[in-house]
Structure 1
Amino acid sequence: MSSQPSLRQHQPCPDKPCVLLHVLFEHAAGYALFALKEVEEVALLLPQVEQSVLNIGKFHSLVRLAAFAPFKSAQSALDNINAVSEGVLHEDLRLLLETHMPAKKKKAALLGVGDAKIGAAIQEELGYTCQTGGVVAEIMRGIRLHFHTLVKGLTAQSASKAQLGLGHSYSRAKVKFNVNRVDNMIIQSISLLDQLDKDINTFAMRIREWYGYHFPELIKIVSDNYIYCRLAKLIGNRKELNEESLPGLEEIVMDSAKAQAILDASRSSMGMDISPIDLINIESFSGRVISLSEYRKGLQEYLRSKMGQVAPSLSALIGEVVGARLISHAGSLTNLAKYPASTVQILGAEKALFRALKTRGNTPKYGLIFHSTFIGRAAARNKGRISRYLANKCTIASRIDCFSEVPTSIFGDKLREQVEERLAFYETGEPPRKNLEVMKEAVVVAELKKQQEKAKKKAKKRKQREKRHLEALAAAAAEERENSLLDTTTETEVRGWGHHCAVHGPARWGMSSVPPSGADPRLALGQRFPNSESAHHQFKTIQTSVTSSFCHKVIIIC
């Protein structure tokens, strides 16, 4: 138990009357220290304060501003509010109290605070007697209501803006939300995985017992529950099993000898006959168990990928399932990172621990980490030693995963190598590498991998830019070819029409749309020109118009 001094509530000082001289108020704009009217007994202040809280004039007669220490920046405000919320005395607050609190009256004066934790920290480090509740709560209510009038130069609008900005910063720093690193999904996944294991085992045993009445020999041949359910659904009535069913049996059991044994057993089985309606129910229930088993496999892969995103070092060290169980038992990855190694070692063995403490027996050596491969590989005399060492490495890995900006499994791989070396040390006596050397090597490898990933991202972006550039060039070239082809086609058709008119004399024209600008209107009607000179004149007009606009297609009709 910590020996923190207890906070006073309403009791006066034993030696001489205590006077509540000052009240500390934490605001988003800074720390404010208010001086109060001197009253011999603190309890006498309560009715006066209650009557004057809503009246600014009366409240000003009881409370005046003694000192105000504004925060220098938004980051400073965030640091101070984090310290206050954790019950830690910040240097800014220490400087304010040491400067403006009366030193000679430390023992007699009371300091009113709103938070009991920060009051305990002030009382322990500076020696001021702090008080919470009662009249302090009423004074805090009045100060909060009239704060912008008590502090000169502070308006209600600026105070509201400071509170809003600090609220956003504090929430953002506390939450630090990242959808890819949410450990709640891991907690739910591992809980669902454990529940599925129990349910699938229960349902499979029910199918074994149910289908065993019809084909009891199958239980001895096949021990795996998932394969048994698939076989029960495939076989159905054992009397219908024949040589044509062998490929399907071999596909399920992956063994030709075992498939032949199932076929032979079905021919000489001592099981009872079964009705079609019973077979329908068995096959339907087998299908449900098979689908649950397949869903469990998908959930296992999901948990593996999620652990690789949230806690890659922990999963690389101890495995995805054991690491997820540690996170689930602790409540979150942050809670697990805050645990000491001694707590991680026995996490999950709380009942055995309390039983041992109650009976004064031996405490357990391991909890959930017993399911890791390291403890199973260690000799009996070394299980306790390797469990302590493994818990230490799990603590380091969880802290790296929790507080690192870019999750990586490099540190987990290096920590796993250390545990392997420790196992070898217990067996052969070969001294392992020091932790400092291994961590330096891991930092170098992590930095190299980070640079490689940056280079890959740059190369990928460069390829995308080049691809977009080539696509734009190809589109421009295609458009240019299309325009050139249209130009050539139009010019060829117009020249062919002129040659036809020169050879065959007067021509009759038809247009696919409105004739070009300057052409004879008779072109649209398909009329015959009186002579070749008139036709030649219209040809020149159309050639000029079509070549410039590329919008009309001439059809030659003789």
Structure 2
Amino acid sequence: MCGQEVQSAELSLLLIVAGGGGTMVLLHVLYEHAAGYALFSVREVEEIGMLLPQVEESLLNIGKFNNIVKLAAFSPFKSAQSALENVNAISEGVLHEDLKLLLETNMPAKKKKALLGVSDSKIGAAIQEELKITCQTGGVVAEIIRGIRLYFHSLVMGLTAQSASKAQLGLGHSYSRAKVKFNVNRVDNMIIQSISLLDQLDKDINTFSMRVREWYGYHFPELIKIVADNYTYCRMAKFIGNRKELSEEKLEDMEEIVMDGAKAQAILDASRSSMGMDISPIDLINIESFSSRVISLSEYRKGLQTYLQSKMSQVAPSLSALIGEVVGARLISHAGSLTNLAKYPASTVQILGAEKALFRALKTKGNTPKYGLIFHSTFIGRAAAKNKGRISRYLANKCTIASRIDCFSEIPTSVFGDKLREQVEERLAFYETGEAPRKNLDVMKEAQQEASSVTTEIRRKLEKKERKKKKREKKRLEALAAAAAEENEPSKQSQDEEEVPSKKKKRKSEPDLSENGLEEEEQTPSSKKKRKSAPEEAPATETKKKKKCKVRQEDED
């Protein structure tokens, strides 16, 4: 019992603020919702502090809960973007301007006598530090916030349960989308999908081409030895069809496909003395159909590689300039994103893709692998056998630098990648000839100077594009305004036409004026005099009217 009394006394001290001759109810509770901020005032604070179990029971009945809590202020979010900014600020424990404005406007003027209940201690600390308002979390405040969360759509006028759930769903989606672990500004996930599809297409095209070779080889086996390329073989199989129908008239077309006159002549000679079996028309139709599919896949693969190169030049220009677009894309794909690759140390980048060999070597206590995916780079192929490990370690170091530059620079350029490539070339020459390479500091200074000029030029172009875009938008708005004005003009013209006849009638009733300008000038003073005398004549007319009325009354009498 003593413990409960102490706890209730502590809660009452937290929730009661004494002022003047009696207790003043100054407890407010802040509730953050997807629709906006709500500030509630709590009634009968002393009784609530003393009776915590009764507060928990009142959550089951909205009528009882309404006796405890009353809505003091509600500040809805202006847009979905504003809601996302506010929820990000709350999650980071930062006081947003919207919340600050709400508290400054609706909290009591005497902040020392005010108590604010909040659900998160971080945002409470920020409010207390900036606005000097005493904040409290837990205890009765937590129970009251639970009730507010349960009956929020009933406590706020004009808010339904359906609209509240829609706001929560939309804000949850946008908040989760912003927290996804890939760089939103760099579309590196497109690179990951492209390189994966490119590798899959290479396997599929190779398999399908071998199928075409076996299938068409029964009819024309000599063509396999003459044409080694899979794409060219499929085109030739589709073009030739039945080898018995091949003649010298088709020699020029074959030269265009094979790009070699000697090979085209060899194919023609081999078709005349081939040892292949005869083939039926239905088999040829199926072979040609399948060959056309393989050709279309090969052409799509070329287009996909061009797309990958353009994406790599936009997302990771330094990495692609250093090690190539395909190898750089494979590194990004294996790491998961460009950000993850930038976080890796050079030792991890060196063996990235050779994890199985690494763990096998650690298990058997053998030699660890020297390189992983970077083995496909031309530098390691050009290095001598004794220098492959050293050049792979050096190349991995430069790849790490390039990926970090691409990931964290505002306007990525290929200047640093070109300079890093020159360094690798100099190091390769140093291993072979002993010629000392340049220092890294000097190279980076040169690269920084060139990059600053390039970035200023890119910024200038972007600003120019932005100005052109604004001009086009302004012209479009002016055109819309002109069109709207033209639509309104016919109605004005019709009104003017209606007014013109009445004006003409008035002019006909007026006395004809002379065409001489002097006479008009002579007439104008008299008209002015008449206008001036008009107010003087008004009282005389009024007296006449009064006399007439008196005469009529006398006659009636």
Q: Shorter-chain TM-score: what band?
A: 0.5 to 0.7
Task: Decide whether the 8 Å contact of 1:53 with 1:139 is kept in 2.
Answer: no
Q: What corresponds to 1:368 in structure 2?
A: 373
* Equivalent AA in structure 1 for residue 317 of structure 2: P
Superposition pairs for residues 17-416 of structure 1, below 5 Å? 174=179, 181-416=186-421
Structure 1: tracts of 5 or more residues without a match = 1-20, 30-44, 59-77, 91-112, 116-135, 147-156, 468-558
**What is the distance in 2 between the residues matched to 1:367 and 1:82?**
40
**What is the distance in 2 between the residues matched to 1:281 and 1:297?**
25
Superposition pairs for residues 414-433 of structure 1, below 5 Å? 414-433=419-438
* Equivalent AA in structure 2 for residue 430 of structure 1: E
* SS of the residue 2:391 aligns to: helix
* Equivalent AA in structure 2 for residue 319 of structure 1: G
**What is the distance in 2 between the residues matched to 1:81 and 1:179?**
19
**What is the distance in 2 between the residues matched to 1:298 and 1:51?**
67
**What is the distance in 1 between the residues matched to 2:182 and 2:365?**
45
Task: Decide whether the 8 Å contact of 2:182 with 2:339 is kept in 1.
Answer: no
* SS of the residue 1:181 aligns to: coil
**What is the distance in 1 between the residues matched to 2:222 and 2:382?**
37
**How much does 1:450 deviate?**
2.3
**How much does 1:308 deviate?**
0.9
Distance 1:441 1:277, change over 3 A: same
Superposition pairs for residues 452-531 of structure 1, below 5 Å? 452-455=457-460
* Equivalent AA in structure 1 for residue 312 of structure 2: M
Alpha-carbon deviations, 1:373-393, whole Å to 9, x = none?
Answer: 111111112211111211111
TM-score under structure 2 normalisation? Answer: 0.56
**What is the distance in 2 between the residues matched to 1:315 and 1:350?**
23
* Equivalent AA in structure 2 for residue 401 of structure 1: D
**What is the distance in 1 between the residues matched to 2:338 and 2:470?**
40
Q: How many residues align?
A: 396
**How much does 1:372 deviate?**
0.9
**What is the distance in 2 between the residues matched to 1:346 and 1:256?**
46
* Equivalent AA in structure 1 for residue 399 of structure 2: C
Task: Decide whether the 8 Å contact of 2:351 with 2:373 is kept in 1.
Answer: yes
**What is the distance in 2 between the residues matched to 1:246 and 1:331?**
50
Which one of the candidate residues 432, 436, 443 is aligned to 1:438? 443
**How much does 1:432 deviate?**
2.0
**How much does 1:434 deviate?**
2.4
- CA RMSD in angstroms comes to 5.8
Distance 1:279 1:145, change over 3 A: closer
**How much does 1:223 deviate?**
0.6
Distance 1:169 1:244, change over 3 A: closer
**What is the distance in 1 between the residues matched to 2:410 and 2:398?**
20
Alpha-carbon deviations, 1:392-428, whole Å to 9, x = none?
Answer: 1111111111111112111111111111111112112
**What is the distance in 2 between the residues matched to 1:204 and 1:183?**
31
* Equivalent AA in structure 1 for residue 371 of structure 2: Y
* SS of the residue 1:362 aligns to: coil
**How much does 1:51 deviate?**
10
Distance 1:178 1:343, change over 3 A: closer
Distance 1:357 1:440, change over 3 A: same
Q: What corresponds to 2:528 in structure 1?
A: none
Q: What corresponds to 1:95 in structure 2?
A: none
**What is the distance in 2 between the residues matched to 1:137 and 1:378?**
68
Task: Decide whether the 8 Å contact of 1:54 with 1:142 is kept in 2.
Answer: no
Query: Which deviates more from structure 2 when the two are superposed, residues 283-292 or residues 176-185?
Result: 176-185
* Equivalent AA in structure 1 for residue 306 of structure 2: E
**How much does 1:442 deviate?**
1.3
**What is the distance in 1 between the residues matched to 2:398 and 2:226?**
44
**How much does 1:49 deviate?**
8.6
**How much does 1:195 deviate?**
0.8
* Equivalent AA in structure 1 for residue 198 of structure 2: L
**What is the distance in 2 between the residues matched to 1:409 and 1:137?**
55
* SS of the residue 1:450 aligns to: helix
**How much does 1:89 deviate?**
12
**How much does 1:452 deviate?**
2.9
**What is the distance in 1 between the residues matched to 2:89 and 2:467?**
46
**How much does 1:431 deviate?**
2.5
**What is the distance in 2 between the residues matched to 1:213 and 1:168?**
59
Identity %: 80
**What is the distance in 1 between the residues matched to 2:443 and 2:120?**
47
**What is the distance in 1 between the residues matched to 2:178 and 2:312?**
23
Query: Which deviates more from structure 2 when the two are superposed, residues 451-460 or residues 230-239?
Result: 451-460
Alpha-carbon deviations, 1:337-373, whole Å to 9, x = none?
Answer: 1111121111111111121222222221111111111
* SS of the residue 1:347 aligns to: coil
Structure 2: tracts of 5 or more residues without a match = 1-13, 15-29, 37-51, 66-83, 95-118, 122-140, 152-158, 473-557
**How much does 1:171 deviate?**
7.2
Task: Decide whether the 8 Å contact of 2:411 with 2:455 is kept in 1.
Answer: no
TM-score under structure 1 normalisation? Answer: 0.55
**What is the distance in 2 between the residues matched to 1:418 and 1:139?**
66
Decide which structure has greater helix share: 2
**What is the distance in 2 between the residues matched to 1:323 and 1:349?**
16
* SS of the residue 2:276 aligns to: coil
* SS of the residue 1:405 aligns to: coil
Distance 1:137 1:287, change over 3 A: farther
